[in-house]
Amino acid sequence: MINEDLENTYTIGLDFGTLSVRAAVVRVSDGAVLADAVREYRTPIMDRTLAVGDGRALPPDFALQVPADYLTAMCEAVPEAILRANIKKDQIVGIGLDCTSASVLLTDSTGTPMCEYPEFINEPQAYLKLWKHHGAQDQADRIVALAKERGESWLARYGGILSSEMLLPKALEAFENAPALYSATAEIVDLVDWLTWELTGTLAYAAGDSGYKRMYQDGHYPDPEFLEGLAPGFGSVFSEKMSHPIVPLGSRVGGLIEVYAEVFGIPAGTAVAAGNIDAHVQCASVDAVRPGQMTGIMGTSTCWILPSAEPIEVPGVFGLVDGGVVDGSWAYEAGQSAVGDIFAWFVDHCVPASYFAEAEERGVSIHRVLGAKAAREEVGEHGMVALDWWNGNRSTLVDSRLSGLLVGQTLTSTPEQQYRAHLESTAFGARVIIENFEEYGVPVDELRIAGGLIKDAFLMQMYADILRRPLRTAKTLQAGAHGSAIFAAVAAGVYEDVPTAASHMGGVSETAYKPNEEQSLKYDKLYEQYKYLYDLFGRGNRVMHTLKEIRSQALVRR
């Protein structure tokens, strides 16, 4: 250890979410969060029009952001968190960060985003493509088709299919739709690596993100011949625009450069850890980095992360990567593209004003009102079942063209009944993912949950009942920033590896949710109907795909 006085040694964790960044100051001896601060990004997500330049309309399924907003928010949040922590700034020994998965941007050789060049300010492809940018679905389909035709071995590591959220489809999308931009681009980087590049002046690729999102497997990327088969001229994308070293999670990318040291008010040279994926880093926060310990990170979407002692091919997973959570072991990623987003959509569009008035009168959130009303009913009393595909299906179908469905509504259906059906649908989707792992011989021995939705006790108990498993929840709502601070402690040399650091700094709360057999039996009947609809609309016909095509054509004609 670099410092015997661990009670007075701290790291900073930065959690770059979809809408804001959170900075947390964490004590390395026990993982206590002393203080945190949040800053929202200045520009809203651009999913209909560009919020800059000429404000042009965007195609369907786009989700873009202004990358400079991340730096501005970070430079405001970090000093505030340190001030609130009331510690000596030289007691901070490391910085770690995580970001939304597969958020991709194009830059010049110095790291300046291409959208900051005047000639590309109106080019949508020049902006940061958020994780939920699904504009590259056609490219993803072609990548998978060619990989199957050629028998590419790496495809099995992604469940035999590839999401449009990945880096390679997004890069191909830029190559084909904005050739001048692509030609002028020096680097195609994931957000996690761009930020550590900014902080240290060193561009290195984190192993976890490289495996899950950049398709780096067994020491190499997809070969140039394959890439050239996708599009002539694309074969050199990795050698020309993604050719920097790959470093293990928990390693030190470099020291904090002077310009950021001055802004943060901490010593230059402070260790900066390799960047992490926002979901994966939370495994360390709940101390679930060993084989069989599954972590569900539940927020706007949900990621399910599962370390494994060996690589077993599982169809429909989002990725299987060596060193994907901690160096030295394998880890799977699966997920659901919308969870909290579904609940928020329902509240925004389907709840009458009287419910909001009740929430205001009681001084609680509208979700609390809906949940309390829904909890009074018996399982199945609403007579409905929903599919949780309101932003596509990430696992096990890996298809962004799928869409949401609610069956069983009548003229007597109430808002709370519909709300409950949506809650249940997300738990049913999680059960499909877990059962898929077990069907292919990957054990799920333990379940731990992190993310903002752990605050909802009704939802957590519902998950325990539907999944038929006990679950424990994170001890902090800031599990992303907290987990990043754990990796920072390893990068700073305080602990020798991530499992050791997680055992000292991570953990779960005292609250445990145990399945109720009587409730589980009732949910089993609804789950049977969910599975029927899952296979019918996910595998049996193309009605959802066709509706998306009709929508796209209508928007073009508008």
Residue 36 makes CB contacts below 8 A (sequence gap 6+) with: 22, 23, 24, 25, 81, 84, 478, 481
- The pLDDT value recorded for residue 3 is 47
Instruction: Kindly calculate the radius of gyration of the chain based on its CA atoms and give it in whole angstroms.
Output: 23
The CA-to-CA distance between both ends of the chain, in Å, stands at: 63
pLDDT of 6 higher than 90: no
Residue 126 neighbours by CB under 8 Å, 6+ apart: 106, 113, 114, 115, 117, 120, 178, 181
pLDDT at 1: 43
Residue 160 pLDDT greater than 90, yes or no = no
Q: Residue 431 contacts by C-beta under 8 Å, 6 or more apart in sequence?
A: 466, 467, 527
Helices (H), 151-285: 167-177, 179-184, 191-200, 207-213, 224-230, 237-241, 258-264, 281-285
pLDDT of res. 470: 97
Q: Which residues contact 106 (CB under 8 A, 6 or more apart)?
A: 113, 114, 125, 126, 174, 181, 182, 185, 187, 188, 189
| Percent of the chain clearing pLDDT 70 (strictly above) | 99
Parallel/antiparallel/unpaired status of strands 271-273 and 252-255: antiparallel
* pLDDT for res 4: 54
Mean pLDDT value of segment 193-205: 98
Per-residue pLDDT tens digits for 283-313: 999 999 999 999 999 998 999 999 999 999 9
Specify the pairing of strand 20-27 against strand 10-16: antiparallel
> What mean pLDDT value characterizes the chain?
95
Alpha carbon of 384 to those of 34, 404, 525: distances in Å?
Answer: 45, 14, 12
pLDDT tens-digit readout, 358-415:
999 999 999 999 999 999 999 999 999 999 999 999 999 989 899 999 999 999 999 9
pLDDT at 555 (0 to 100): 77
What is the chain's percent helix, strand, coil content, to nearest 5? Answer: 45, 20, 35
DSSP string for 376-419: TSPTTTT--EEE--BTBB-SSS-BTT---EEE---TT--HHHHH
- Spatial separation of the C-alpha atoms in residues 426 and 131, rounded to whole Å: 19
Q: What is the pLDDT of residue 350?
A: 97
- As a whole number, mean pLDDT of residues 1-16 equals 82
Tell me how far apart the alpha carbons of residues 401 and 398 are, in angstroms, rounded to a whole number: 9
pLDDT tens digits along 497-550: 999 999 999 999 998 999 999 999 999 999 999 999 999 999 988 999 999 999
Asked whether the beta carbons of 181 and 123 are under 8 A apart, the reply is: yes
Secondary element (H or E) of residue 107: strand 104-107
pLDDT tens per residue, range 105-132? 999 999 999 999 999 999 999 999 999 8
More confidently predicted of 268 and 131:
268
What does the block give as tokens for 247?
Answer: 């470093």
User: What are the φ/ψ torsions at residue 146 (nearest 5 degrees)?
Assistant: -70, -40
Amino acid 2: pLDDT: 45
pLDDT tens readout for residues 87-106: 998 999 999 999 998 999 99
Structure tokens given for 48: 């209909």
φ/ψ of residue 458, rounded to 5: -60, -45
257 has a pLDDT exceeding 90: yes
Could you tell me what percent of the chain has a pLDDT over 90?
92
Contact 114, 185 (CB under 8 A): yes
Instruction: Read off the pLDDT of residues 326-351 as tens digits, 9 standing for 90 and up.
Output: 988 999 999 999 999 999 999 999 99
Residue 348 parent element (H or E)? helix 340-350
Nearest to 128 by CA among 104, 163, 100: 104
Give the pLDDT confidence of 403-430 residue by residue, as tens digits: 999 999 999 999 999 999 999 999 999 9
Q: For residues 195 and 16, is the Cβ–Cβ distance under 8 A?
A: yes
Q: How far is C-alpha 295 from the chain's CA centre?
A: 13
* Token pair for 157: 């590591």
**Which pLDDT score is estimated for 148?**
96
